[in-house]
Amino acid sequence: MTDKSRLSDEQLDEYLNQIDAVCNEFDQNEPDIAIDRQIIAAAHRELENPNPKAMPVYSWWRRLSLPLYAAATVSFTAFAVHWLWPGSAPTPEKVYMSPVEIEVREPAPQVVEQKHNKRSLPEQKELVMPEQVLTKSEAVLLPKAKTSNDADEEVVLEDSFASASEQDLDEEKALVESIEEKNLIVVTGSRIKREELSEAMTAEDEKRGEKLSFPSEQQWIQQIIALYQSGKIEEAKKEQVKFKQVYPDYPIDELIEPFKS
Amino acid sequence: MDKAVLNDEQLMLEYANGSALAFEQLYQRHKGGLYRYCLRQLRHKSKAEECFQEIWLKLINSRVNYKPTALFTTYLYRIAQNHIIDMARKDNRSGTEVEMEPETIESQGFAEPLEALTREGQHTRLRTTMAKLPIEQKTVLLLKLDAGLSLEEIATVVDCGKETVKSRLRYAVSFLKQQLGEL
């Protein structure tokens, strides 16, 4: 409508007042008195006899619906957790996993040939040190690098007592023989059965502690000095390093220094 | 408590609490405006009376649900507006033509017939022209003239914005001024 822009707010109010004046002058219509009476009577009736349909209804279901929904939700969740997914239930305390069987496989064999070793025996070219001979239990516990996969080949670890005396070597030899007699393992690449392991563990664990013991400081130092004097510098250094690992507080460097030259 | 100084909302709450006197006072305040509003909207006296009664009965039945969050006038005229829309839909469905009855004009009761015709003619032309307005503009105009509502209250009744109400009112007045000239 194009006339819209012509009317300002003041003009609009002024014209509305004119219309209102005309309406008020001529329109004084009122409802009949009978209608008034009917409506007021209805109002009185409503007060005396309230319409139950008009009254607000507070049913028990409306009051209890929220707690019931909450209880149903919790129950369903518990049912789902304990029955539909039993694996997700927490494990009771003091229940442990069954023992894991570890299959020992062989890496490359570690054989140390000692060409100029005094310990070379006529019937045994390779020396197997009793401390490094693995029992069946040790074979399970040791890392793979110390075992052999080849059934025909024995795993021989590096000899840490290359400079052992003849007396020590004889003891070691005797010890190896005793171990072999008792069916202790020099680890083969074959799979070790659990039953054999359990039998061997009990008897040999006691001896193992004795075998892994090192010589006394004085005895070991004399061995190292003998190596230096015989010109086996590399072996002497290795023994010296091992000595420091075993006896870190012992002043071996100062004692050995005169013999190095 | 003196009912004369209570406003509409307080009277309605009094009635909801069981005071019939409060309702009578409330009815006396609003019966004229609401009746004229129904009459102008429906343009049929008997339909307007029926509509008028039903609006008040709805108000009576909903007394316990009334909450004074808005003005009582907007509450009352919103009920009226919804009921009028329902009646108009029923009439449209049944094909009833709603026209102003002759008795509405005859009920004015002027002393002099010529004067009555002259003054009545101006008034009749005004009402006839108002009847030509679109329903939205006519509703806004009648709520302003018959019910005496403000723009904000009209916006609440017809459920639209204040600027929309003002725009509709401006269109309606412009149309009347164009058709009738100065009154």
Nearest to B145 among A23, A26, A55 (CB): A23
Q: DSSP string of A193-206?
A: PHHHHHHHHHHHHH
More confident residue, B119 or B92: B92
pLDDT of residue B56: 93
- CA A109 to CA A157: how far, in whole Å? 9
Specify whether the backbone of A102 is left (phi greater than 0), alpha (psi in -120 to 50) or beta. beta
Amino acid at A227: L
Provide Rg for chain B, Cα atoms.
18
Average pLDDT over residues A49-70: 78
Q: A253 touching B, CB under 8 A?
A: no
On the CB side of A62, CA atoms within 13 Å amount to 4
pLDDT greater than 50 at residue B105? no
Amino acid at A251: P
- Whether residues A22 and B183 touch (CB distance < 8 A) is answered with yes
Q: B62 touching A, CB under 8 A?
A: yes
B24/chain A closest Cα distance in angstroms: 7
pLDDT greater than 90 at residue A68? yes
pLDDT of residue A26: 72
Residues of B in contact with A39 (CB under 8 A): 27, 53, 56-57, 60
* CA pseudo-torsion sign B65, B69, B73, B79: negative
Instruction: Assess contact for A132 and A184: CB atoms under 8 A.
Output: no
Mutation site, B37, B39, B56, B66, interface A, largest A CB count within 10 A = B56
Q: A258 touching B, CB under 8 A?
A: no
Please, which residues have CB within 8 angstroms of residue B32's CB and are 6 or more apart in sequence?
A: A28, A29, A30
Distances, alpha carbon A247 to alpha carbons A160, A162, A196, A227, A232, in Å: 16, 19, 36, 19, 22
Nearest to B61 among A12, A26, A46 (CB): A46
pLDDT of residue A214: 78
B160-183 per-position pLDDT tens digit = 898 999 889 889 888 888 887 776
More confident residue, A145 or A68: A68
Amino acid at B138: K
Average pLDDT over residues B97-112: 45
pLDDT of residue A157: 43
Per-residue buried b or exposed e for B92-129, using 16+ beta carbons within 10 Å of the residue's own CB: eeeeeeeebeeebeeeeeeeeeeebeebeeebbebbeb
Please, which residues have CB within 8 angstroms of residue B54's CB and are 6 or more apart in sequence?
A: B83
- CA B84 to CA A209: how far, in whole Å? 107
Residues of B in contact with A57 (CB under 8 A): none
Chain A residues 55-114 with CB within 8 Å of chain B = 55-56
pLDDT greater than 80 at residue A31? yes
pLDDT of residue B111: 47
- Whether residues A18 and B175 touch (CB distance < 8 A) is answered with no
Residues of A in contact with B62 (CB under 8 A): 54
pLDDT greater than 80 at residue B133? yes
Q: A44 touching B, CB under 8 A?
A: yes
pLDDT of residue A261: 67
Q: A203 touching B, CB under 8 A?
A: no
Q: H helices of chain B, where? A: 8-16, 20-42, 45-61, 72-94, 102-106, 113-131, 135-145, 151-158, 162-180
The residue whose two tokens read 């008195």 is: A33
Q: DSSP string of A113-153?
A: --TT-TT--SS-SS---TTT---HHHHHHS-GGG--S-TTS
- Whether residues B183 and A19 touch (CB distance < 8 A) is answered with yes
Instruction: Assess contact for B15 and B72: CB atoms under 8 A.
Output: no
Distances, alpha carbon A182 to alpha carbons A189, A196, A220, A238, B151, in Å: 19, 12, 30, 32, 111
pLDDT of residue B127: 81
Nearest to A35 among B53, B62, B123 (CB): B53
Q: B66 touching A, CB under 8 A?
A: no
Instruction: Name the residue in chain A with its Cα closest to that of B30.
Output: A30
Mutation site, B138, B145, B176, B180, interface A, largest A CB count within 10 A = B145
Residues of B in contact with A33 (CB under 8 A): none
Residues of A in contact with B178 (CB under 8 A): 3
pLDDT greater than 70 at residue A96? no
Mean pLDDT of chain B: 81
Output the CA angle B145-B151-B157, nearest 5 degrees: 85
Please, which residues have CB within 8 angstroms of residue A121's CB and are 6 or more apart in sequence?
A: A127, A173
B17-46 per-position pLDDT tens digit = 888 899 999 999 998 889 988 888 887 888
Q: What is the pTM of this model?
A: 0.49
